[in-house]
Amino acid sequence: MRDTVLDRQGPPLPRERGPISAAVIDRLATRSPVPALPTVDADPYGDDLHLALYVCYELHYRGFAGVDPRSEWDPELLGLRRELEDRFLGALRADAFRHTTVADALGDLLVEPLNGSGVSHFLRDQGELWQLREYATLRSLYHLKEADPHAWVLPRLWGRAKAGMAAVEFDEYGGGRAERVHARLFAALMTDLGLDTAYGRHVDAAPAPMLAVVNLMSLFGLHRALRGCLVGHFATVEITSSPGSARLAAAMRRTGAGRAAEFFYTEHVEADAVHEQVVRREVVGGLLEEEPHLEADIAFGVDATVHLEDRLAAHLLGAWQDERSSLNVVGR
């Protein structure tokens, strides 16, 4: 991953996509008061709401170039963020709810679609290099901070759940070796594909379904009350990663994307197969043992993750099957 002074100062603020994101960006750029906004009517899955949320959340990661670091705790932005979170979370509870038990929620994750209709299936079987580049462009919003949203839950767990979570996170951060940090491995993948690896470089290219996927992790990670949901999200990622990574490694190999591009996914095939067992037995099992009342939250975390990943898959496959770009127009 490129490490320059500019990167350490944070990426530039993205372009606004509507009145809500414009107000957030203007607040950070000029310290203008946040106007009264009709957030109750905002599309809970739309570009404007999710860019606004993304910008608010990034203040807790690396921030933005030229933006006062103290903006992380700006009361006006925190108030607006709460309204947007309520709108997003309310929609997810209405649209994504499927399971009430962890056993049922996790069991459904193991059922592969019979027709192999997912994004990783498409990329493995017929994806072209330009589509792999688009996929990596969008996933960079997550993979360049891969373990960070999940790390927020560590102070909110104890016992087996904390120990198991810390063990998996240790692997995500390279087992103590900087060159093995998974975010750095993804940057190497991007280099093979000829993409800019700067943190936050591709936000403008990301459509709302991708922003929503990334925002979900931050939403769950930043709220102690949603710690069960975060564990459900974490379990979903780890349980589904190994077979999907095998298909993506095959896609990289078939298209000649490069050794680093293929390695990122082959690394996840083996690592996440092990992580799945730790997450199931220690993280989820440990949390249920300590706080059985969080079972419905864990199941909801699984359901919300699947719901948003399905929305993203529909966007990607709809575009690619029509031979058009899946990237946001202003980000090209």
Give ∠ CA 112-113-114 in degrees, rounded to 5.
110
Whole-number pLDDT of residue 114:
56
Whole-number pLDDT of residue 275:
85
Q: Which residue reads 């690396």 in tokens?
A: 62
Please check whether residues 123 and 250 belong to one and the same domain: yes
- pLDDT over 70 percentage in the chain: 95
Q: Which amino acid is at 332?
A: R
DSSP assignment, residue 146? T
Instruction: Report yes or no: 149 and 216 within 8 Å, Cβ to Cβ.
Output: no
What is the number of other CB atoms lying within 10 angstroms of the CB of residue 142? 17
Please check whether residues 38 and 103 belong to one and the same domain: no
Please check whether residues 168 and 316 belong to one and the same domain: yes
Of 34, 64, 94, the position where a domain reaches its end is: 94
Q: Which amino acid is at 129?
A: L
Distance (Å, whole) CA 95 – CA 106 = 18
Helix, strand, coil shares of the chain, percent, nearest 5, are 70, 0, 30
Q: Which residue reads 């006062």 in tokens?
A: 68
Of 94, 120, 145, the position where a domain reaches its end is: 94
Please check whether residues 157 and 298 belong to one and the same domain: yes
Whole-number pLDDT of residue 4:
47
Distance (Å, whole) CA 189 – CA 26 = 34
pLDDT band at 268 (very low <50, low <70, confident <90, very high): confident
Distance (Å, whole) CA 49 – CA 85 = 9
Please check whether residues 237 and 286 belong to one and the same domain: yes
Query: What is the domain extent for residue 296?
Result: 99-331
- Our count of domains for the chain comes to 2
Q: Which residue reads 């699984």 in tokens?
A: 302
Whole-number pLDDT of residue 325:
98
User: What sign does the dihedral 127-131-136-138 (CA atoms) show?
Assistant: negative
What is the number of other CB atoms lying within 10 angstroms of the CB of residue 6? 13
Please check whether residues 273 and 295 belong to one and the same domain: yes
Instruction: Report yes or no: 205 and 331 within 8 Å, Cβ to Cβ.
Output: yes
CATH number at residue 141: 1.20.910.10
pLDDT band at 7 (very low <50, low <70, confident <90, very high): low
Whole-number pLDDT of residue 146:
83
Q: At what angle do helices 75-95 and 295-321 cross, to 10 degrees?
A: 80
Please check whether residues 119 and 259 belong to one and the same domain: yes
Q: Which of 35-39, 49-53, 72-76, 204-208 has the lowest mean pLDDT?
A: 35-39
Distance (Å, whole) CA 231 – CA 210 = 20
Q: Which residue reads 């069991």 in tokens?
A: 107
The candidate with the shortest Cα–Cα distance to 87, out of 48, 55, 60, is: 48
Does the structure show a pLDDT above 80 at 330?
A: no
Predicted TM-score (pTM) of this structure: 0.94
C-alpha distances (whole Å) from 96 to each of 79, 143, 198, 276 are 25, 24, 33, 23
Does the structure show a pLDDT above 60 at 168?
A: yes
